[in-house]
Amino acid sequence: MTIDRRQIALDAVAPFRKRPLGHFIDGRDLPGSGAPFEVTEPATGQVIGQALDATPAEVDAAVAAAKGAFPAWAATPGAERRKILHRIADLIEARADEIAAVECLDAGQCWRFMSKAAIRGAENFRFFADRAPDAANGQSLPTGEHLNFTTRHPIGPVAVITPWNTPFMLSTWKIAPALAAGCTVVHKPAEWSPYSARLLVEIAAEAGLPPGVFNAVNGLGETTGKGLTEHRDIKAVAFVGESKTGSAIMRQGAETLKRVHFELGGKNPVIVFDDADLERALDATIFMIYSLNGQRCTSSSRLLVQRSIHDAFVARLVERVGRLKVGDPFDPATEVGPLIHPRHLAKVESYAAIAAQGGARVAAGGRRHAAGANGGYYFEPTLFADAEQSMRIAREEIFGPVLTVIPFDDEADAISKANDVDYGLAAYLWTGEVGRALRVSNALEAGMVWVNSENVRHLPTPFGGMKASGIGRDGGDWSFDFYMETKNVALAFGGHKIQRLGV
């Protein structure tokens, strides 16, 4: 069973492994001529292929294709765009197992989570497909003298730049609404996990998306990514990644006044009050930090737990963390897989020493995991206890299976500690009292607050962060607002007074 899924993944990407993975521009495979870089399998450390950094000419070609295809795609009736996007969703569903297996192979994500992630990618396409016919609709804002009405128009060719943590599903959040809005797209996936992006662009072509509407280029951030964000003909950049990369992209796009949408890092608190359903709080806390190998922007990486229940709650946590099943991502029983890359493993590992230096206690894990003996990039599910909010382990995004526990005394203390970070993406709150749930969620500096729940995504709701966690929101109509320009037309009824000068 385990071996079969890996083989399915290898077969799915076989054509791109015989030669380095290039680009997909104007409906065609472009072999590419830039510098190659290696793609490794996180679970084994083996090189599974090479991809090519796009040259400036190749970036230009991708943008030119998107620019050329834009007028016709923007003018395509929404109902027709809807049909094509549903066909993309159909094909994603038909190949969901293959896509999931590719995510296990080159992103090291576990099958138990990825088997649903590809299906969620299809749902993203369906959700925005159904809204395509109404995307241009605006408002009517009449006065006594004018009928004002607004319409929305796709902004133009856009760049979508994505990270490696859940590459396929995450990219569909951006690409589906952009296409539904009538924009054309150049996607640059992360260099550490480029394969599933290739499957998506090919699926879109097979579904009947006209050539040039959706292009994909491979490459590094500082070359291909930079080239895209600086390009004059790219009208907006939808970016998911680290906060410092967001800053760089803002600088790179400043010259051409790029519109940007940023979904960045997080150091999200889960706050557990002593009146909460502690069993459910425990389950949700563990799920939100250790699933997806801890490489999740909305992970509950900081546990703020009320002092009265602190010791008992931490003891239960230690027990459960020690029992997490770490291993082969293709094994459906595996709960925690490898980290994406040796560089990322070294970063995550460095926080064990940082925790000890800061005076925290390593209550579980803290070292490379034995499952990495074959060369894989495994880290033990880790718990830092007795931490304080001032410590680096409580302030910096570690982006691994690492939870930092901090005690708090009362509501005010919980809010102050929760907000005392640069980030503001998500927060989780566990309490049995409705008034407290309202007071605390109102005071939290986070774009999304879940009360008595883990992260459950509902596509019509806004997704995004405050502070260093982002700019803009995805989901519902918020996505269309980003990918479209709003135009107001004011039509005079004809009788209003016009000032007469020079009479």
Binding residues (CB under 6 A) for ligand NAD: these are: 161-165, 170, 188, 190-191, 220-222, 225-226, 229, 240-242, 245, 248-249, 252, 263-266, 297, 397, 399, 425, 465, 470
Given strand 426-430, what is the order of strands in its sheet? 361-364, 382-385, 402-408, 302-306, 269-272, 426-430, 448-451
Min dist CB 398 to ligand NAD, Å, is: 10
Q: How far apart are CA 294 and CA 188, in angstroms?
A: 23
Min dist CB 262 to ligand NAD, Å, is: 8
Going by their DSSP bridges, the two strands 214-216 and 184-188 should be labelled as: parallel
Min dist CB 169 to ligand NAD, Å, is: 10
**What one-character DSSP code corresponds to residue 408?**
E
DSSP H helices in 158-306: 167-181, 195-206, 226-230, 243-254, 278-290
Q: Would you say 92 or 159 has its CB closer to ligand NAD?
A: 159
Please give the angle made by the CA atoms of 168, 170 and 172, to the nearest 5 degrees: 75
Q: How far apart are CA 161 and CA 62, in angstroms?
A: 14
Q: Would you say 19 or 251 has its CB closer to ligand NAD?
A: 251
Q: Would you say 225 or 366 has its CB closer to ligand NAD?
A: 225
Query: Torsion-angle region of residue 108: left (phi > 0), alpha (psi -120 to 50) or beta?
Result: left
Which residues touch 481 (CB under 8 Å, ≥6 apart)?
none
Min dist CB 469 to ligand NAD, Å, is: 6
Is-contact 285 427, C-beta < 8 A? no
- Is residue 230 annotated as part of the catalytic site, yes or no? no
Is-contact 286 329, C-beta < 8 A? no
Is-contact 267 301, C-beta < 8 A? yes
Q: How far apart are CA 62 and CA 42, in angstroms?
A: 30
Q: How far apart are CA 55 and CA 23, in angstroms?
A: 11
- Is residue 297 annotated as part of the catalytic site, yes or no? yes
Minimal CB distance to ligand NAD: which residue? 221
Q: Would you say 211 or 342 has its CB closer to ligand NAD?
A: 342
Amino acid letter at 288? M
Min dist CB 254 to ligand NAD, Å, is: 13
**What one-character DSSP code corresponds to residue 210?**
P
Which residues touch 498 (CB under 8 Å, ≥6 apart)?
none
Q: Would you say 264 or 314 has its CB closer to ligand NAD?
A: 264
Min dist CB 193 to ligand NAD, Å, is: 9
Q: What number of helices (H) and strands (E) belong to the chain?
A: 17, 21
Residue of 425, 470, 23, 494 lying closest to 216 (CA atoms):
23
Min dist CB 139 to ligand NAD, Å, is: 29
Min dist CB 5 to ligand NAD, Å, is: 24
Is-contact 321 303, C-beta < 8 A? no
Q: Would you say 176 or 240 has its CB closer to ligand NAD?
A: 240
Q: Would you say 251 or 280 has its CB closer to ligand NAD?
A: 251
Q: Would you say 84 or 159 has its CB closer to ligand NAD?
A: 159
Min dist CB 479 to ligand NAD, Å, is: 13
Catalytic hit among 104, 110, 183, 297: 297
Q: Would you say 131 or 226 has its CB closer to ligand NAD?
A: 226
User: Is residue 425 classed as helix, strand or coil in its secondary structure?
Assistant: coil
Q: How far apart are CA 381 and CA 369, in angstroms?
A: 8
Catalytic hit among 103, 263, 380, 396: 263
Q: How far apart are CA 317 and CA 405, in angstroms?
A: 10
Residue of 497, 483, 415 lying closest to 180 (CA atoms):
483
Catalytic residue numbers, as ranges:
263, 297
